[in-house]
Chains A and B, each alone.
Chain A
Amino acid sequence: MTDLSTNSSFGETQSGEARFGDYFALLKPRVMTLVVFTAFVGLLAAPVPVHPFIGFCAILFIAVGGGASGALNMWWDADIDQVMKRTAKRPIPAGKVDKGEALAIGLVLSVFSCVFLALATNLLAGALLAFTIFFYVVIYTIWLKRSTPQNIVIGGAAGAFPPMIGWAAATGQIGIESVLMFCLTFMWTPPHFWALALFMRNDYDDAGVPMLTVTHGRRSTRLHILVYTVLLAALAIGTGFTAIGGPVYLSVAVVLNALFLKGAWQIFRRDEDASETDNFKTERGFFKLSLLYLFAHFGAILIEAGLARFGLGGWG
């Protein structure tokens, strides 16, 4: 931030001193909604009841931990965020928050969230949150993102941990059900981001991030989207027959996976000319559907868990 003490141009324009909202934006609030929701589902789907206030605190600390990793991501990626249209308005490239401040906020909130989650719930949940932050910041942001086109595939694991942390906060264990929820988000991430990369193509090219579209070409990316969507559909529908599934979940999964497969097939069949002509309408539609896809699957798991409290959920 700029020093104001001897500022002769103390005039009409923004001085560079950040608003409270600028610091909040460092925590990537939109990503946080996904973290909060999936962690909430993991917590409530667990077979062990949690005191509402402890549950609230657990979700809050998981959200803060997710936000902290977002701040550390912005600190490290400030140079490429400046180049990409999609990220150029983030607080650091926009000149509202200093890089050092983002680093300090990220580190402090990381330690705070892990310690308090462990205190509120159990050590396993705190340790899992710490590992998630480490994975997202060090493994994904610092190491993989700029070095391999598989960055999204492996890095997607970081975004898949929250339901597992929620489950661990309730049970103190890692169950097969929480692993399934992890796998669902993990397998969903690549087609979600590759669809984005298809229609935000110049961004990643300009920033030199080795997205699949840049390293292996756009035809290969379309094929990858299709393959991952087929694998995801098998996993998502198969989950319907497990302890966290049930008729409601299975119905949602069948419908959404049919739509998702149809979208992936359409993306695979298209060529660049067709996409250019309608400004990537199909790819954009697939990306929007992917957001609904994940929320609806976890929403269905939540409904099954809610019904189970009245002896109605699941298969028996």
Chain B
Amino acid sequence: MSITKTHELHKRRFGRNVGVGLLLTAFIFIVFGMTMVKITGGDVSGALQGKGKIENGD
């Protein structure tokens, strides 16, 4: 039998899950952003437009 009545505890648990979800989403964006900045040498928009320099290439 499922619990049908929502208790204040469920709200707290829901809020906690939402918080963790937002943190994980933020973490993904941070890692993605850091990666983009690092691999493009800071010129993210230039790299997206194909203006990146090719280093150590022939």
Residues of A within 8 A of B (CB): 4, 10, 14-15, 17-20, 23, 51, 53-54, 57, 60, 119-120
* B12 and A17 within 8 A (CB): yes
- Chosen A-B contacts, 11 in total, with CB atoms closer than 8 Å, are A15-B9, A17-B12, A18-B12, A19-B15, A20-B16, A20-B19, A51-B37, A53-B37, A54-B37, A119-B34, A120-B34
- How distant is the Cα of A120 from the Cα of B42 in the complex, in angstroms? 12
Number of A-B pairs whose CB atoms are under 8 Å? 32
A17 CB contacts on chain B under 8 angstroms: 9, 12-13
Residues of B within 8 A of A (CB): 7-9, 12-13, 15-16, 18-20, 30, 33-34, 37, 42
- How distant is the Cα of A18 from the Cα of B8 in the complex, in angstroms? 11
A53 CB contacts on chain B under 8 angstroms: 33-34, 37
- How distant is the Cα of A20 from the Cα of B12 in the complex, in angstroms? 8
For B30, the closest partner residue in chain A by CB is: A57
B42 CB contacts on chain A under 8 angstroms: 51
Query: B16 contacts which of A19, A57, A60 (Cβ < 8 Å)?
Result: A19
* B34 and A54 within 8 A (CB): yes
For B13, the closest partner residue in chain A by CB is: A17
- How distant is the Cα of A245 from the Cα of B19 in the complex, in angstroms? 42
* B9 and A57 within 8 A (CB): no
Question: 4 nearest interchain CB pairs?
Answer: A20-B19, A51-B42, A20-B16, A19-B12
A19 CB contacts on chain B under 8 angstroms: 12, 15-16
- How distant is the Cα of A216 from the Cα of B13 in the complex, in angstroms? 48
B12 CB contacts on chain A under 8 angstroms: 17-19
